[in-house]
Structure 1
């Protein structure tokens, strides 16, 4: 064999080794199994690259998209911003507590609006002297909602759903767009379990109870599906519960989050002794200009909102924030993604970015490891925002996501990260965050691993175990 023929063969044999020697020696082995990898780790003080595999490759980041959302939200509003929900009316209560007109809930787009907030609104309305509404309860989602579904999970959720993560969106949504029912055992085995609404003594959603009470220590196995029957949401709950078991709460996305809010608030008004003569409806119309506030409640500060968005990877809250970034009413998720893209366009050396949602549920989202690191570096240098931003990331040693609690001590205790997971149409496992080296230097890393149509299922251990070893070496070496 001639030297000219041997040289290409030698280079071909060395190519996989070059990828493995890029600083991600362990992680790089996934490329041999057909997975697409984009990875980069570098120090922030001198920008030294400690490892890289195709760092500019455009791949799906899954829920790492939420890091972009968090940065854009902090940039727009600051850590202490709060979203406000109001009860307004053109009428004022008379001397007998009657409100001669509609009572309107002005949905403020608060991603964290809960039953407790609606109860505070009800109490403050009662404090204003209102005892009777001679009109309708109108839940206004004029800012956004119903929002077009652009993912299979959310579109399916309009009729049938067995999860809470694909909740539909509305600026007047409550309880993360999901119904909650509580399952408790009956007094004796053989009887149907007691299934009630979590948030009211009244039944807020129709319940199809197929849960049987079993003897002590028989085990509890429950499954639930929310279906839509004749235009009404029904929670179908199946399984068994032991007589000595504690009540279990089950959450499933509603088909109409504004309608869910209307039903929940109407029940609370009734419980507080405030009658509504004409029932409740939802509306996409803005409250009349002449309407004045009767009660208001502020949501939690943005920095606390983002803790929940990021730690629990809450898709409802993330996409609600993205919709709030749209400056005009009736926004959709594409416009929310475009608002985040516009923010990122001002980050030096980021490169291309495609976001169709802030949550990452849309598999079409694309970024690169180098771009994700550019975002992290930009936030590191914003002293007023960085504490709130970095606090949203999890340390593997004590993060709420237990599956990240693996790897050597240096990875467990000196890394802060956000994860991203998708299983359809291909497997995606993504991580992005900061690390501190042994000498206290700050670094950033981003790893995007995408499957293809021909690759098998990708578990988190397949990514976390090798990555933790690679990052440990970088941390200990510096």
Structure 2
């Protein structure tokens, strides 16, 4: 009898211990009653004191919280000041008249933030090198990676059509985040078609199907845009209306082939600079010849600046491009990029399992736990040379660029830095991970992963962030 009482007492104490831990997420935990799966944990970094937990080792989808793993792995590999280089190379040299007797090759360096501004500097440096005419082709080489196999629905659909920019396809020779940009302005008078140009050129580089009509002042502006592929060419299909007194609107849509987009864009820029290319432009997966010499080069922005954009704007093109760069062999794919991050995570003490099929989190197969994500955050906290560049990529609810995080009390808004993740298909995912500071100045880490299923109701951000803010505020105030 005494043995049974002892077992009952031990079982009761275990339940009480779990209740004490879970009580730290008393508000968030109510989502479990609606059928949502939760993995949550909050703990102090010094002393490793757990303030609350709900199934902290449960493996769930982190969505774009994956990008925190990518950021940490990239900083570990290259350091905050690393820059990716894009080059124009050739086996030939320009003669005294500026004639280049051979192909001009763009060696795509995998810069995830290469823009037309960078390309213009590259073209100007080619002009400085004396090149005035290419007696050959412009070849865009994506030998490092590209075209990368699409493994998510949005990206696969983008090969034929796209009504967004976040599903951009991937290449080591991409420009403008793999998306076309066009500018729509009102026509001269009501009834006229709108005026459409490229965002960086007087004429649009891709084909335009313009059905936007100009309306009188203050009539309202409603624009719809879809990039479609017709007979092997990208076409931007525009419809709607724009008021005569409206400002020009920029529209971004994923291209069907980032390397081809690069070829068309660079060819147009060479023409503007007075550098003729006799045989047009093409793309290739071949590495530039071993004897090719550099005619012009441009370095991208430092990694720490790239990561600000990756994390603050949750840029999927940039995140997956960085993950592909982590792969040391050519012809990388998304899974290899994920495995490179997993290899980095394997060195984090007490992390536990992690499965990553992408660096962006767009892939629904990604899995980690709240305890694992917190182990990542804690490990970066203890790396003084990397932590400043890592923590600055997280957003404060008080002034973050994502307006939906601006909620909760003053305590939550000013004592927390976080990264969010969102998926809606095939199930709802709302994930949050980051750091907090207690009233006494102690550092803590927290992660909350909430996953739905086919029968759970719609999950809004207010459903997750509002209760989480209340729970974290209590932890911050009492420690």
Shorter-chain TM-score bucket reads: over 0.9
- The answer as to whether partners of 1:19 and 1:28 remain within 8 angstroms in 2 is no
Alignment correspondent of 1:260: 261
Alignment correspondent of 1:404: 405
- CA deviation string 1:14-48 (max 9, x = no partner): 99x94895200111111111110100000001110
- State the distance in 2 between where 1:128 and 1:210 align: 43
Q: TM-score, normalised by structure 2?
A: 0.96
Alignment correspondent of 2:87: 86
Offset at residue 148 of structure 1 (A): 0.3
Offset at residue 457 of structure 1 (A): 1.1
Offset at residue 456 of structure 1 (A): 1.2
Q: Compare 18-27 and 155-164 and name the one that shifted more.
A: 18-27
1:443 aligns with 2:444: yes
- CA deviation string 1:248-293 (max 9, x = no partner): 0000000000000000000000000000000000000000011000
What does 1:7-406 align with in structure 2 at a 5 Å threshold? Answer: 18=19, 21-406=22-407
- CA deviation string 1:161-210 (max 9, x = no partner): 11000000000000000000100001101111111111222331101101
- The answer as to whether partners of 1:172 and 1:261 remain within 8 angstroms in 2 is yes
- The answer as to whether partners of 1:202 and 1:267 remain within 8 angstroms in 2 is no
- The answer as to whether partners of 1:65 and 1:358 remain within 8 angstroms in 2 is yes
- The answer as to whether partners of 2:21 and 2:52 remain within 8 angstroms in 1 is no
- The answer as to whether partners of 1:177 and 1:254 remain within 8 angstroms in 2 is yes
- The answer as to whether partners of 2:22 and 2:54 remain within 8 angstroms in 1 is no
Instruction: Extract unaligned runs of 5+ from structure 2.
Output: none
- State the distance in 2 between where 1:451 and 1:19 align: 25
- Match of 1:411, SS state, is helix
- The answer as to whether partners of 2:421 and 2:432 remain within 8 angstroms in 1 is yes
- The answer as to whether partners of 2:25 and 2:52 remain within 8 angstroms in 1 is yes
- The answer as to whether partners of 2:182 and 2:204 remain within 8 angstroms in 1 is no
- State the distance in 1 between where 2:224 and 2:351 align: 44
Instruction: Extract unaligned runs of 5+ from structure 1.
Output: none
- Match of 2:23, SS state, is coil
- State the distance in 1 between where 2:237 and 2:271 align: 26
- State the distance in 1 between where 2:196 and 2:23 align: 56
- State the distance in 2 between where 1:21 and 1:120 align: 56
- Match of 1:167, SS state, is coil
- State the distance in 2 between where 1:50 and 1:280 align: 60
- State the distance in 1 between where 2:204 and 2:193 align: 17
Shift of the 211–448 alpha-carbon distance from structure 1 to 2, 3 Å rule, reads same
Aligned length: 468
- The answer as to whether partners of 2:138 and 2:267 remain within 8 angstroms in 1 is yes
- Match of 1:31, SS state, is helix
- CA deviation string 1:229-261 (max 9, x = no partner): 011000001111100000000000000000000
- State the distance in 2 between where 1:21 and 1:128 align: 66
- State the distance in 2 between where 1:223 and 1:365 align: 33
- CA deviation string 1:428-459 (max 9, x = no partner): 00000000000100000000000011101100
Offset at residue 352 of structure 1 (A): 0.4
- Match of 1:72, SS state, is helix
- Match of 1:278, SS state, is coil
- The answer as to whether partners of 1:428 and 1:448 remain within 8 angstroms in 2 is yes
- Match of 1:372, SS state, is helix
- The answer as to whether partners of 1:182 and 1:197 remain within 8 angstroms in 2 is yes
- The answer as to whether partners of 1:20 and 1:28 remain within 8 angstroms in 2 is no
Offset at residue 87 of structure 1 (A): 0.3
Alignment correspondent of 2:460: 459
RMSD over aligned CA atoms reads 1.5
- State the distance in 2 between where 1:199 and 1:331 align: 31
- Match of 1:293, SS state, is strand
- The answer as to whether partners of 2:21 and 2:53 remain within 8 angstroms in 1 is no
- State the distance in 2 between where 1:390 and 1:54 align: 26
- Match of 2:433, SS state, is strand
Offset at residue 69 of structure 1 (A): 0.2
Offset at residue 56 of structure 1 (A): 0.4
